[in-house]
Amino acid sequence: MTKPLVAILSGAGISTDSGIPDYRGPGGLWRRDPEAEKLVTYEYYMGDPEIRRRSWQMRRTNRTLLAEPNAAHRAVAELERSGVPVRVITQNVDGLHQLAGMPARKVLELHGTARTVVCTGCRAKAPMADALARVEAGEEDPPCPDCGGILKSATVMFGERLDPGVLGEALAITKACQVFIAVGTSLKVQPAAGLAGIAADHGARLVIVNAEPTPYDELADEVIREPIGTALPALLHRLGTEHGR
């Protein structure tokens, strides 16, 4: 029997158990401190050295790089190891799916990664840890070591476009999958949110695992409101059992 392709769209809610805050949630950083949004807005970041200095300090104290995968991330990797074809499309920049054991080639990072820096001039990439070590050593706004250009996190800032190649691949997987699970995402931020509707339109079984209602709940075959840390592992175990794990 052919095993179904399972696509998992993950948002901030899958990583809150790892200690990473939901920036857009009711108590999220962008709601509490509108000034903080400037630190991750491309136009402000590129045009104001003071914004960049504050951004580097924010990254230095950010818990993202210290976070560990939780039970939900591990359950996704376990399903993939069991032989079920799994692809992850994530709105997160924390790299926790890969740390949990998902092969990097099977994870599409729609909003980039916080674990890498990129030069806005020559496009050279380097580990975020290296740039942060320079900040710790006293460089307030470390330039690119290759060309002297402005370095930024390899995440998609406000005002930047998503990578069309990554988005195109996500769309292809969404149209091809038999099961589409949206987990920990409000499904309000486009274009990622629209993938749930596209999956349903192409005949996929749509499952939504999220604490709050989403605009796509009516299209879903199943809506789960339980805590993600227990609900997702249980759901994926059930899926694996159904398909001859």
pLDDT at 1: 54
pLDDT per residue, tens digit, the chain (245 aa), is 578 899 999 999 999 999 887 655 545 555 566 677 888 899 999 999 999 999 999 888 887 888 999 999 999 999 999 999 999 999 999 999 999 999 999 999 999 999 999 999 999 999 999 999 999 999 999 999 999 999 999 999 989 999 999 999 999 999 999 999 999 999 998 889 999 999 999 999 999 999 999 999 999 999 999 999 999 999 999 998 887 55
* Separation in Å, CA 51 to CA 35, 135, 172: 10, 15, 37
The angle subtended at Cα 133 by Cα 130 and Cα 136, nearest 5°, is 160
Task: Please state the pTM of the whole predicted model.
Answer: 0.91
pLDDT at 244: 58
- Strand (E) or helix (H) holding 176: helix 164-176
The CATH number assigned to the domain with range 22-62+112-155 reads 3.30.1600.10
Has 111 been annotated as catalytic? yes
pLDDT at 35: 72
Q: What's the one-letter identity of residue 38?
A: K
pLDDT at 8: 98
Marked catalytic residue, from 111, 202, 237, 243: 111
pLDDT at 22: 67
**What's the CATH superfamily of 1-20+69-111+162-245?**
TPP-binding domain (3.40.50.1220)
The angle subtended at Cα 123 by Cα 117 and Cα 126, nearest 5°, is 35
Give residue limits of the domains in the chain: 1-20+69-111+162-245, 22-62+112-155
pLDDT at 21: 73
Give the β-pairing of 112-119 and 151-155: antiparallel
The span from the CA of 74 to the CA of 96, in Å, is 9
The span from the CA of 196 to the CA of 88, in Å, is 13
